[in-house]
Structure 1
Amino acid sequence: MAAIVACGLSAGPAHAAGEKALQDVEILSTDAMAGRAAGSPGSALARAHILKRFSEIGLKPAYGGFEQPFAITLGTEARRGTNLVGQIAGTGASDKVLVITAHYDHLGVRKGEIYNGADDNASGVAALLAAAESFAKSPPKHTVIFAAVDAEELGHRGSGAFVAAPPVPLARIALNLNLDMLSKNAKGELYASGTYHFPWLKPRLAALAGQVPVTLKQGHDGPPWRGDDDWTLLSDHAAFHKAGVPWVYLGVEDHPEYHRPTDDFATVPRAFFAKAVTTVVIVARGFDDDLDAMAKEAGR
């Protein structure tokens, strides 16, 4: 295993990244976006904000443009989903790619109540954007693809569309880092799932756990976890798992506001979320540093 080194974040840049990420969560979870249901006007507003941020950061389109449209059929109802996919080219010679995903859709409006989804998953999108900003300022060794995917709440439709028609061959994707629900945990904990399926990740995540400002635990990815406590197929990394692509899922355990209309920006613990964003950046940069060795151990 290659050594994983700290990314060198100082308190100043980390604080600034956390503040910007909080602004992104606030915008994406405002009532005006009406819960960001896939195919809705609120979803279009969310896409406009994410695309604006992609442009500000300096991402390049991973396809011909940033948008990857796909069809959604729900019984007799047809909708259009849209993934937003940008990239930063690596500075090294390796052709291996890191894909960072976070879904931007949520549950919309139900029985007159708006499900704003501040934690689920405006928080993950905001952290994805923070990671993109970090790599834009200090370019990665490997190409990093940033996919804000749609229709996760309808059965991982957006990540399924990405995996079915990726911008690079699947064999080049060494790892998917999926971000889903990062902002609310009273214990100051984030879980990293995936090590049960990919044991070579265990020492790497253990090393990174010593560098991050939250308690980073491993689990929720196989025995002894059962039912919904096993997250293997419960978010967008499931599409990569089914395609044989290694993955790590960062997220918090369920909380009382999960899939409730109370999952609003006002209930986001700001100090913990800022630390979670810093953790995502450190983990993403650590994976980039070690991606070739990881790909070799995974047989990719």
Structure 2
Amino acid sequence: MLNLLKFLMLFFLIAPLGLRAQKIDQSKLLNDIEYLSSDELGGRKPLSEGSLKARKYIQERFRELGLKSQYPDFIQYFDFQNNREGKLYENAANIVGFVGGKETEKLIVIMAHYDHIGKNGEQIFNGADDNASGTGAVLALAEYFSKNRPNHSMLFVALDAEEMGHQGAKALVDDFPFPIEQTVLNINMDMISRNVDGEIYAVGTYHYPQLKPIIENVAEGRFPKLLFGHDVPGQKADWTNASDHSQFHKNRIPFIYFGVEDHEDYHKVTDTFERIQPEFYIGTVELILDIIIAFDRNLNKE
């Protein structure tokens, strides 16, 4: 249950958003990001106790929603070598849910990484924006499409070990449960819960310009303000390979990466739930949902 403070945050900050028909459960979205970034989960470093708790939390939600999966109990296990630590990580886990499409077996993959960087002694790197925010969005989007069956089939994926070199995304692509060319679009969300200027970026349209008009049509006049960029090769702050979507781009699969500019709390112990912006976060997830709905209706189904 939301405490009084969060209730007031919802009532006063988010009331304008309520004038539109709500497609997502706003209080559940805030509860998800709060739990996933809580001290109890200890920063969600792969294979830590907190990571296992996050894994179970996402599994249970997928199960409650009635999602299917091509992996036993929604879990795609994988091993990887972390050369920085000189350590082999065994049985890291992506959590993968599936909704079959009404009109086509072609896939839209919607994903975010749920890991973060863990602890340094007693200091906890909670990773609220990075990336409990994206994980919460995956849960909200999975809930919507579990109740509103899309035209395209959809994979909903919470990825492990992004902070160690996109390891979960590499494992997903290497052991993809369908022919990879069946995927028509990858949506990645990484840091989407705060920005002092009220801006969110949609990255990838430089490489896949056919996607831009659909996004522009949905985003016009919306809050937060949606910007394009950070995807031009050779320019400063090119995010084309900055997160898990890079593994789909390497396979020539169109992607859109939603994220904000780095802020003062990036990879610091101060990236906590108390510092997210609820109105911005909810508005962003609703905007991304409407963009995905538009893609589902308008992407080439041939």
Report the counterpart of residue 146 of structure 2 in structure 1: 136
Report the counterpart of residue 226 of structure 2 in structure 1: 216
Q: Give secondary structure in 2 for the equivalent of 1:253.
A: coil
Residue pair 1:99, 1:173 contacting (<8 A) in 2 also: yes
Distance, in Å, in 2 between the alignment partners of 1:157 and 1:290 is 32
The yes-or-no answer on 1:53 pairing with 2:61 is yes
Which deviations, in whole Å up to 9, do the C-alpha atoms of 1:207-251 show, x marking residues without a partner? Answer: 12127432111111115731xx11000100011111111100001
Q: Offset at 1:159?
A: 0.4
Distance, in Å, in 2 between the alignment partners of 1:216 and 1:68 is 33
The yes-or-no answer on 1:156 pairing with 2:166 is yes
Residue pair 2:59, 2:73 contacting (<8 A) in 1 also: no
Question: TM-score normalized by structure 2?
Answer: 0.89
Report the counterpart of residue 249 of structure 1 in structure 2: 257
The yes-or-no answer on 1:62 pairing with 2:70 is yes
Distance, in Å, in 1 between the alignment partners of 2:51 and 2:171 is 17
Which deviations, in whole Å up to 9, do the C-alpha atoms of 1:139-178 show, x marking residues without a partner? Answer: 1001010010000000000000000111111110001000
Q: Offset at 1:12?
A: 4.8
Structure 1: runs of 5+ lacking an equivalent: 1-8
Structure 2: runs of 5+ lacking an equivalent: 1-17
Give matches, 1:61-100, under 5 Å. 61-75=69-83, 76-80=86-90, 81-92=92-103, 94-100=104-110
Amino acid at match of 2:183: I
RMSD: 1.6
Amino acid at match of 2:87: E
Which deviations, in whole Å up to 9, do the C-alpha atoms of 1:252-296 show, x marking residues without a partner? Answer: 111101111000011111111111111121111111112226xx6
**How many residues align structurally?**
282
Identity of aligned residues (%): 43
The yes-or-no answer on 1:237 pairing with 2:245 is yes
Name the CA shift for 1:140/1:258 in 2 (closer, same or farther; >3 Å).
Answer: same
Report the counterpart of residue 5 of structure 1 in structure 2: none
Question: TM-score normalized by structure 1?
Answer: 0.90
2:26 to 12, 18, 38: 18
Q: Offset at 1:64?
A: 3.8
Higher relative contact order (CA 8 A, sep 6+): 1
Name the CA shift for 1:96/1:132 in 2 (closer, same or farther; >3 Å).
Answer: same
